[in-house]
Structure 1
Amino acid sequence: MTGTKVDPEQKTLAKGLLDIGLLMANASQLKSLISLGPDAEYYYPNMVLICLSIALQVMTGVMLLVLGSMDGNNLEKRSTANRLNNVVVGFVFAITVINVFVGAFGIKRTGN
């Protein structure tokens, strides 16, 4: 059975589009939360989690740009790139966990 190889640039583009989609979803959630105001159920936990998720996404994007521009010809740069890649993986995990909690808390108005 022969498999088709995926171009690394296609993977990067697909990952970037997913990142943009998540960033847009977080921005939309933040807008909804702000429009509901502090009367919304779990307003402050959601506000903190959404802002933290957006901040981590921006930092991850910057680190991916740095990682993509690194030249891995020498061993020292390769080691630095591996460490940076591990940090990026940790950030992506944290973003995922944070967004699970944002989804679990939900954004809805309380009472009246």
Structure 2
Amino acid sequence: MDGKENQSSKTEVNFNTYATKKTIAKGLFDIGLLMSNASQLKSVLNYGSSWNYYYPVIVMICASLFLQFLVGIMLLVLGRMVFETDEGKRRANNLNNVTVGFVGVITVLNIFIGSFGLQMSGDQ
């Protein structure tokens, strides 16, 4: 029986380690998206305002970048919140829901940015 108890304790999930790894992975994805948006912004600016979708794409990229910074700040605040009281848990849950909503908006914005992608072949 001791062997079974010892074996089951090895398969338990350490949620602190899981959460830390998840946060690091999310941070790396966020950095990748931030770099992608910065590269897209540079390309659009280099292409010039003669492109038909110049201003809409500039606005969408800037909105995406702004929301990414905002989500980063919200995640820092969420990470420092105290969850001991019911009020703290409620506030953290609300902030988490708003953060998830902003991530959804960022995703949709980047889908549109990708669909309006620059065609470097000269077609406008």
Q: TM-score, normalised by structure 1?
A: 0.91
Q: Is the 8 A contact 1:70 1:81 kept in 2?
A: yes
Residue type at the aligned position of 2:97: N
Give the one of 35, 58, 70 matched to 2:69.
Answer: 58
The alignment of Structure 1 onto Structure 2 pairs a total of residues equal to 111
Q: Does 1:42 align with 2:53?
A: yes
Structure with bigger RCO (C-alpha 8 Å, 6+ apart): 1
**In 1: Cα distance, 2:66 partner to 2:45 partner:** 17
Residue type at the aligned position of 1:104: S
Structure 1 equivalent of residue 84 of structure 2: 73
3-state DSSP class of the match of 2:66? helix
Structure 2 unaligned residues grouped into runs of 5+: 1-7
Alpha-carbon spacing, 1:71–1:108, altered in 2? closer, same or farther (3 Å): same
**In 2: Cα distance, 1:30 partner to 1:4 partner:** 45
Structure 1 equivalent of residue 5 of structure 2: none
Q: Is the 8 A contact 1:41 1:107 kept in 2?
A: no
Q: TM-score, normalised by structure 2?
A: 0.82
Structure 1 unaligned residues grouped into runs of 5+: none
Q: Is the 8 A contact 1:40 1:108 kept in 2?
A: no
Q: Is the 8 A contact 1:41 1:108 kept in 2?
A: no
Alpha-carbon spacing, 1:44–1:12, altered in 2? closer, same or farther (3 Å): same
**RMSD of aligned C-alpha atoms?**
1.9
**In 2: Cα distance, 1:77 partner to 1:99 partner:** 33
Residue type at the aligned position of 2:61: I
Runs of 4+ aligned structure 1 residues displaced above 4 Å come to 109-112
Question: Where do 1:1-112 residues align within 5 Å?
Answer: 5=13, 7-108=18-119, 110=122
Residue type at the aligned position of 2:93: N
